Structure 1
Amino acid sequence: MREIVFDTETTGTDPERGDRIVEIGCVELIDLVPTGLTFHRYVNPERDIPAEVVRVHGLTAELLADKPVFGAPEVVDELLDFIGDAPLVAHNAEFDRRFLNGELARLGRPTIAKERCVDTLLIARKKYPGAPASLDALCRRLNIDLSSRDKHGALLDAQLLAAVYLELKGGRERRLNFLDPIEAAKPSQTRQNSPLEAPQPRQTRVRPKPLEPLSTPEEHQAHAAFLLSIGPETVWSRLRVTPD
């Protein structure tokens, strides 16, 4: 199942009073696991940004003056291409949905239905009633590294939320399908106006040199003697499993 985790940074808290999006970040998930495809844009809000808001995300009107406006094709068209018709996952989703819809409505574009959004804040409050449920609090609770986060940032927060969402839905054990650690260590690639691509099956890598056995010949003999003591029809005998 394809889902998009997204986050926005804004000039304030109320799009109906003129607040605008200044940054948007999206992370693609397939069956809860990030594929490495992301979308990230800084946006010129065409207005001032209050100092108290700048302290949260560090983005000033001067920094964003040369960035595209939301209506530019490299923002709105590429964003809509990236999210497609996938469910959208966000923390306090109604906040981000209202801002995204405010920008889309200004352009006469179709808006995002509430039913399409998954709110991880509601999931966390149900899973951990009475406990703090901010993104930071959930990262600490679930042992997700926050060391690279000193201010809010849309793409970084979306990546952190993707990790939180996986754990809220049961963790990697839920699917018994673990990420290849080498693939997981690769940096995410920002999507650049390319068609959606189905994830390619991962090739199984063969270890060039087999690992040395972890058990000794004496342990092998003891294991074989134990199997004989409990009878010939053991699971190990049928499967020919050795204790290595």
Structure 2
Amino acid sequence: MREIVFDTETTGLSPVGGDRIVEIGCVELMNRVETGRTFHAYFNPRRPMPSEAEAVHGLSEAFLSDKPLFEELCGDLLDFIGDAPLVAHNAPFDFGFLNNELALCGLSSVCMTRMIDTLVLARQKLPGAKHSLDALCTRFGVDRSIRIKHGALIDAQLLSQVYVELTGGRQIGLGLVAEQRSSSEEKIDVMLVQEYANSVTVHPARPHEPTEEELERHAEFLKGITDPIWNRVAACG
């Protein structure tokens, strides 16, 4: 199953109040495994950058001044996400901004039924714990040392690892916590499995009905049994 984990950075908290997306980062997952395909873009919001927002993501008005407008790249973005489910942390926030930008471009909104909110998943799985992305990275041992400030692509990459852990980890559905293993150990396991699979001789399926010869041999075998128990059972009946 194909899924897209994404994150946005914005000029503020309210798309209705005129705030805009200034950065988006998307990570492609296939069966909960990163494929290496990503989409990342900065956008010129055509409005001032509040100091409070810049303090969070570090994107200044000057830095964004020569970046493309959202409408210039929205086609590429929509092609990348396709019809896949969209995973985000506090997803209604990101969906609200994404759909606002699409509306400004005269395009249809992304259906909310495609939304997967990792904040909701975290609250269900870890009641009473801290549910920020930083806290979840710490809990699941996800390395976030490169995250100095919020960044859409970095946060999407971190969230993709957290999402896998929230939905069962690398052994999805077993309900067990697997030990951390090195990539070399996993490669050895794969090689051993492949070697075993190549060594197995596959025989054609055996017919279930006995042959005439087998029936004759069975009858001869029964004749050699003295005082069979089934005769005693029949006599009692």
Same-fold call, TM cutoff 0.5: yes
Of Structure 1 and Structure 2, the greater helix share is in 2
Tell me what 1:104 maps to.
102
Tell me what 1:4 maps to.
4
For the pair shown, which has the larger CA radius of gyration, 1 or 2? Answer: 2
CA distance in 2, matches of 1:32, 1:45: 33
Correspondent of 1:142 among 140, 143, 151: 140
Letter aligned with residue 140 of structure 2: L
Structure 1 residue ranges (4+ consecutive) displaced by more than 3 angstroms after TM superposition: 178-182
CA distance in 2, matches of 1:162, 1:22: 21
State the secondary structure of the residue aligned to 1:8: strand
Shift of 1:172: 0.4
CA distance in 2, matches of 1:180, 1:46: 47
Percent identical residues? 59
The answer for unaligned runs of 5 or more in structure 1 is: 185-203, 207-244
Letter aligned with residue 132 of structure 1: K
| TM-score scaled by length of structure 2 | 0.74
RMSD of aligned Cα (Å):
2.1
CA distance in 2, matches of 1:97, 1:20: 12
The answer for unaligned runs of 5 or more in structure 2 is: 175-179, 193-237
What is the count of residue pairs matched by the alignment?
Answer: 183
Tell me what 1:173 maps to.
171
Letter aligned with residue 170 of structure 2: R
Within 5 Å, give how 1:119-198 maps onto structure 2: 119-174=117-172, 181=183
CA distance in 1, matches of 2:166, 2:173: 13
Tell me what 1:46 maps to.
46
Tell me what 1:209 maps to.
none
State the secondary structure of the residue aligned to 2:71: coil
Shift of 1:179: 11
The structure-2 alpha-carbon separation of the partners of 1:152 and 1:67, relative to structure 1 and needing over 3 Å to count, comes to: same
CA distance in 1, matches of 2:138, 2:38: 24
| TM-score scaled by length of structure 1 | 0.71
CA distance in 2, matches of 1:67, 1:152: 19
CA distance in 2, matches of 1:47, 1:64: 10
Tell me what 1:196 maps to.
none
Shift of 1:181: 3.5
Deviations 1:8-31 (A, max 9, x none): 000000000100000000000001
Deviations 1:218-237 (A, max 9, x none): xxxxxxxxxxxxxxxxxxxx
The structure-2 alpha-carbon separation of the partners of 1:179 and 1:154, relative to structure 1 and needing over 3 Å to count, comes to: farther
Shift of 1:175: 7.2
Shift of 1:62: 0.4
CA distance in 1, matches of 2:157, 2:97: 20
Within 5 Å, give how 1:22-41 maps onto structure 2: 22-41=22-41
